[in-house]
Amino acid sequence: MKTPETGQKQRLYPDVGAVNRNGQKASRGYDSALQAGKNTGENMIREEITLKEAAEQIRRICGAEAVLEEEAMSIHTTFRIGGPATVFVIPPDEEKLRDVLILCRSKKLPCTVMGNGSNLLVSDEGYRGIVVQVSRNMNEIRTEGELIHAQAGAMLSAIARRAMEESLTGMEPESGIPGTLGGALSMNAGAYGGEMKDITLSVRVLTPEGEIRELDGEQMQFAYRTSIVQKENLVVLSAVLKLKKGDAEQIRARMEELRQKRTLKQPLDLPSAGSTFKRPQGYFAAALIDEAGLRGCRVGGAMVSEKHCGFLVNADHATAADVRDLMEHVKTEVLSTSGVELEPEVRMLGFD
């Protein structure tokens, strides 16, 4: 299956490449790490040993409590789907995060960064590599006049709440998106006519070389559901958002109005990763899927939501294969009925 990583240049992090634990097809970067080109049984054993050694080294960097092995990704994704990550790290702070990523790079280990897992589909086989979660330990939020300084792991909802408390307007559209600031900047997340691009003044990132750089809004190259973070394999550390003085009561009312709209329109009672497909230029994915007669269509436990056709949901113990197969079916049907090619918005991890 074609994944968002397919065809991209070799990456060291956050997405070294899709690595399947079955290992029939080693990813870029992984191959070069082993200088093998093929994944023989012997190579796989060596890989596992290297990852185990890396887990030990990461424990020395971050502390034992920050490192988990064979951690089920289904616990860490809103889809509630995904096999184990060989090593799962929750760095306590920026410095340790940087050290972990530098270690992965120097050892050419597959490594990926995630936030709240609200836009991720992880394969049933999981991810043979190191998953670094940037969330609960890096979530400081500070205001300075009309500016909000926040760390990458801060949830958008928490930043929006702080904005409201400080009578700052501008974050209302993003207030209900269930992700971290880092994930939102990577995705240029947006809703109800607003997107991160509109409110981002600057972003501190870590480059694949381990350097810290500060990018302004233009340098972030925001576009529809993407940014330079994805293109250049950067890791978001923190950002400054620029809002405007407003009226706290009006801000609260607008956030509440949008929250109700979401509850009314979206299948929030079932696990999902939000809109599965990007909005094709000039169309709405949900309408195209509905017109193709796919409302309620199922593959295994995965289903096109009855409530909102743009959402593929985990209706009943769906596997990642169920979701992927349903995505393929939806793409094929929509192409044949409307001639429009749907592109996934959800990021795939651990697929061949």
Ligand X SMILES: Cc1cc2nc3c(=O)[nH]c(=O)nc-3n(C[C@H](O)[C@H](O)[C@H](O)COP(=O)(O)OP(=O)(O)OC[C@H]3O[C@@H](n4cnc5c(N)ncnc54)[C@H](O)[C@@H]3O)c2cc1C
For the bound state, the minimum distance from the C-beta of residue 1 to ligand X, rounded and expressed in Å, comes to: 17
Of 23 and 153, the one with the shorter C-beta distance to ligand X is 153
Catalytic (active site) residue 275: yes
| Backbone dihedral angles phi then psi of residue 117, each to the nearest 5 degrees | 65, 30
Q: Rule CB under 6 A: is residue 97 a binding residue for ligand X?
A: no
Q: Rule CB under 6 A: is residue 236 a binding residue for ligand X?
A: yes
Q: Which of 58, 81, 134, 348 binds ligand X (CB under 6 A)?
A: 134
Catalytic (active site) residue 118: no
For the bound state, the minimum distance from the C-beta of residue 34 to ligand X, rounded and expressed in Å, comes to: 23
Q: Rule CB under 6 A: is residue 78 a binding residue for ligand X?
A: yes
Contacts with ligand X in 248-277 (CB under 6 A)?
Answer: 266, 268, 272-274
Contacts with ligand X in 144-173 (CB under 6 A)?
Answer: 152
Of 61 and 97, the one with the shorter C-beta distance to ligand X is 97
Question: Which stretch, 52-60, 228-236, 316-324, 333-341, contacts ligand X (CB under 6 A)?
Answer: 228-236
For the bound state, the minimum distance from the C-beta of residue 184 to ligand X, rounded and expressed in Å, comes to: 4
Question: Which stretch, 60-68, 106-114, 276-284, 336-344, contacts ligand X (CB under 6 A)?
Answer: 106-114
Say how far apart CA 96 and CA 64 lie, in whole Å.
13
Which of 186, 227, 272, 275 does the annotation list as catalytic? 275
Q: Which of 175, 186, 200, 314 binds ligand X (CB under 6 A)?
A: 186
Say how far apart CA 214 and CA 226 lie, in whole Å.
18
Q: Rule CB under 6 A: is residue 330 a binding residue for ligand X?
A: no
CA-based angle 154:159:162, to the nearest 5?
A: 135
Catalytic (active site) residue 70: no
Positions that interact with ligand X (CB under 6 A): 14, 78, 112-120, 134, 152, 177-180, 182-184, 186-187, 189-191, 229, 235-236, 266, 268, 272-274, 347
Catalytic machinery residues: 225, 275, 345
